[in-house]
Every structure is written in structure tokens, then in C-alpha cells.
Amino acid sequence: MRNYIALLFAILAVGCQTPYHTSYFYFPSKTNLISISSRGFHYQKPDSWVSWSSSVFDDSSNRPGEMLSVRAYEWSPIIHFNTLTNSVRWQDDLPRMDAEIIRRSRLQDIQTSEELTHYNKFTGHGVRKVGKSDNLRFEYILFYPEGEMTGTRIIIILCGSPNNASLREMDEIIHSVYYIPNS
């Protein structure tokens, strides 16, 4: 009996605090969308998503981007909106950022790679890659929109297996985004 109680205590103490959260930790937003205008990006997000006025993929401190993720659901999904520095073209940035994401995520066993010319409502250029990071499924989309969002970069990171509700909310956020330089 004492071993059973010790095992139960160990599972509660360690198992509940694992960083490898899965989809049942996600609670979809039941409220109205919140409009955000920051760093030239304008979008709507549910209140269950957290936004930061910076991104780990910012090119420089004077051109910061936005990062969004779901609170208490750290493994999926994460969205980054970044502006490119004036002298950088998507053709030069894509291979650099692709290598940077692979390095930061320690991505291994890349199973699929797809060139993208469309993503959500945008046309442009990008890539989708799937592999493993720390033995967990890891997918990312690196996309450079054309038109009204030229000069920007969208990075979507999906770790583990996100549920349909979080993916729907992510798609709605991306569909609502637009960019106004110097705003």
C-alpha cells in the first residue's frame, strides 16, 4: 500500500507538470474577438490567445514583430508576424529563416516538405516542413505574403497534435491580419 501511495504521489508531483501538454489543455474562446493594432499589424484574436509585442524571430530591435500563442497550451500553435528589414528580400530570408527554425527547434527526421504559393487568404512564397523535435511531432510554415503584406513574414509553429478548435482559431486570426507600414 505504501508503494502505491508513493507511486501516486510521484505521478501527481511530476506527471501533472510535464511541459508536453496535449490538446485537452486547450479551452476555446467563448467570447468576442479582440482587435489588436501593434507594430503595423492589425488582427483579431480570441481572448484565450496571448499576444506579445515582440517575436523571437525579430530581425532587429527597431523592427519588432508580434507573437501569439494559446495560454497554458504552449505546444501548439504559435504565430509570429514579422516585418523584414528594408534591404532583405524573401528569396534571401527564406533559406536563412528555414535554417534558423530547424536549428532552434532541433528538428530531425523531416518527413515532408512542401513549397507554398498560397496560405490562408494570402498568395506569396513559403515552405511547410514536418519532422520531430525531442521525439514530438513538429510542423512549421514559413510564408512571405505578397500584395498588401509584402515585406512581412508569417511563421506558424505547430508542436505535438493541436486540436481542431485551436487550429480553427489560428486560421481565423491569420485570415483577419493585415499590415500597414509606418502605422
Distance, CA of 183 to CA of 180 (rounded, Å): 6
Give all strands of the β-sheet with 41-45 in edge-to-edge order. 34-38, 41-45, 178-179
Q: What are phi and psi of 167, to 5 degrees?
A: -65, -40
Domain with residue 70: its CATH number is: 3.40.1000
Whether 8 is in a domain gets the answer no
The average pLDDT across 96-117 equals 88
Instruction: Identify the band that residue 31 occupies on the pLDDT scale cut at 50, 70 and 90.
Output: low
Note down the domain range covering 44.
Answer: 19-179
Contact 100, 57 (CB under 8 A): yes
**Given a cut of 60, is residue 24 above it in pLDDT?**
no
Question: 120-142 in b/e burial notation, b at 16+ Cβ within 10 A?
Answer: bebebbbbbbbbebeeebbbbbb
Q: What are phi and psi of 21, to 5 degrees?
A: -65, 145
Name the least confident of 116-120, 146-150, 164-168, 176-180.
164-168
Tens-digit pLDDT profile for residues 49-67: 888 887 888 776 666 788 8
Q: pLDDT digit string (tens) for 63-102?
A: 678 888 886 666 678 899 998 887 789 999 999 999 999 8
- What would the mean pLDDT of 18-34 be, rounded to a whole number? 55
Residue 13 lies in a domain: no
Residue 125 lies in a domain: yes
pLDDT attached to residue 62: 63
The H or E element that residue 110 is part of is strand 108-119
Q: Does 83 map to a domain?
A: yes
The answer to whether residue 174 is domain-embedded is yes
